[in-house]
């Protein structure tokens, strides 16, 4: 894990950062085990980050071969089997 200054420094070596740019870092690997019950992302899951006035960043989780099957785009909390209503 890196502090913000290190992230900005390293990224600015490869990209020209502009005022207002957003750096999305996620969480350390392995935090899913601490959930009750444990929750792991799997191929077909979608990770969404939404900011008012800016839009939605949507990334699909794929298997190691880079192939994901068809899936509905919905927050994990609304997926079948997660204790919430299905999409």
User: Mean pLDDT in runs of 10 for the chain (87 residues)?
Assistant: 88 91 76 84 86 86 63 44 39
Examine residue 85 and state whether it is found in any structural domain, yes or no: no
Examine residue 87 and state whether it is found in any structural domain, yes or no: no
Which residue's entry shows tokens 């992230």? 7
Asked if 67 and 61 count as a contact pair (C-beta separation under 8 A), the reply is: no
Neighbours of 54 (CB within 10 A): 10
Instruction: Provide the domain count of the chain.
Output: 1
Residue 74, C-beta contacts closer than 8 angstroms, at least 6 positions apart = 46, 87
CA–CA dist 76, 39 (Å, integer) = 10
3-state secondary structure of 5: helix
The residue range of the domain holding 57 is 4-78
Examine residue 60 and state whether it is found in any structural domain, yes or no: yes
Examine residue 51 and state whether it is found in any structural domain, yes or no: yes
């Amino acid at each position: 894990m890196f502090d913000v200054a290190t992230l900005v420094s390293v990224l600015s070596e490869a990209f020209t950062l502009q005022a207002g740019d957003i750096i999305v870092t996620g969480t350390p690997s392995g935090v899913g085990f601490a959930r009750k019950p444990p929750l792991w992302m799997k191929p077909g899951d979608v990770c969404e980050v939404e900011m008012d006035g800016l839009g939605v960043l949507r990334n699909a989780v794929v298997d190691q071969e880079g192939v994901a099957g068809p899936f509905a785009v919905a927050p994990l909390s609304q997926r079948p089997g997660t204790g919430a209503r299905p999409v």
